[in-house]
A and B are shown apart, each in its own frame.
Chain A
Amino acid sequence: MLGPLDYALWLAGFVMQLAVVATIFWRHAFTRYSLIVVYMLCAALVQGTQFVYLLKYGVTSRQYYFAYYYLENVLTLLLFFVVIQLCHRVFALIGASRYVRVAAALLVTGTALISYFVIRGHREHMTKDFVIQFGQDIHFVGVVLTYLLWVVILRLRNRPARLTQVVLALGIYFGATAVVYALRNLFPALENGFFLYGLPISGLWLPVAWTYTFLRTPDGESPAARLTPSSNGPA
């Protein structure tokens, strides 16, 4: 049975996802962060669908279990396309060649596609062990990709504040979620205690952090920031 805290977390997540979309439009940043808008709208849709399943079938039902983990994993793959867009922006700022950008996009797309086929292959028998192990692995891949992206950002002399914050917030989300899955994997006995709230809280982090970023942090992508990697001059 769900308590008021569960409903509060669900509602806060839903509202904050829509708040990210609203702030991006308000700051006229849609063209730069269009895939974040698409992701957040899909996340809100997924959360709505999960809530319908919850009301219709109950929290302990097989239907809700399947809808929750299947949609969560597909949503995580969608987040990889946000990483591609961020890669594209960052590589454009350091003046990387078109081939590097295409290679980065292919790497992330390949990871997402392989992961999708793994999920698809297991959709008839999504056991608990599979969803926990897969959740841990896919989020860890996300952490590594975000880390690589951040390392490239560190090479910029004039780091764009908003882009840096967007990438770091994403990295923290991937990292925290991977840790939550890993803890569930390592300590299955504690799953129904503290860890039950781990995923909703880490899921709430991303829209909250991104809303703050788009609301308060200036863009900072001045023309001077382009083509000025720190290796070409003093930091």
Chain B
Amino acid sequence: MNKWLAVVFLVLLVLAGAMGLKSLVTHPMLANTTSPPPRVAVNNGAAPPPVAR
């Protein structure tokens, strides 16, 4: 019986660890880091005229 308990225990250990990592990665404190500003467009010329439809 102890073998089966050990197997279940190890499975739960791995599951709990994996889910803990997953929730850590998606935690707002880590997920909401400020993203770098967009790169300045190389072509800073005037926007193209609207396409006549």
Contacts and interface: CB of A to CB of B under 8 A. Distances in A.
Interface of A: 133, 136-137, 139-140, 143, 146-147, 150, 159, 161, 164-165, 168-169, 171-172, 174-176, 178-179, 182-183, 185-186
B19 A143 contact: no
Interface in B1-41: 1-2, 5-6, 8-9, 12-13, 15-17, 19-20, 22-23, 26
A182 B12 CA distance: 12
A5 B22 CA distance: 32
Given A182-B23, A185-B23, A140 B16 contact: yes
B20 A171 contact: no
Q: Tell me whether chain B's interface is mostly helix, strand or loop, or mixed.
A: helix
Interface residues of B, number: 16
Given A172-B9, A175-B9, A186-B23, A143 B2 contact: no
A233 to B, nearest CB: 21
A171 B16 contact: no
A161 B2 contact: yes
A171 B16 CA distance: 11
Nearest to A154: B6
A143 B1 contact: no
Contacts of A182: 16, 19-20, 22-23
10 contacts: A136-B20, A143-B16, A168-B2, A169-B5, A172-B9, A174-B16, A182-B16, A182-B19, A182-B22, A186-B22
Contacts of B12: 143, 171-172, 175-176, 178-179
A136 to B, nearest CB: 7
Nearest to A169: B5
Most chain B beta-carbon neighbours within 10 Å: one of A165, A169, A178 = A178
B8 A172 contact: yes
Contact of B16 (A133, A139, A150): A139
A147 B2 contact: no
A143 B5 contact: no
Contacts of A171: 9, 12-13
Given A171-B12, A176-B12, A179-B12, A165 B19 contact: no
Contact of B9 (A136, A137, A150, A186): A150
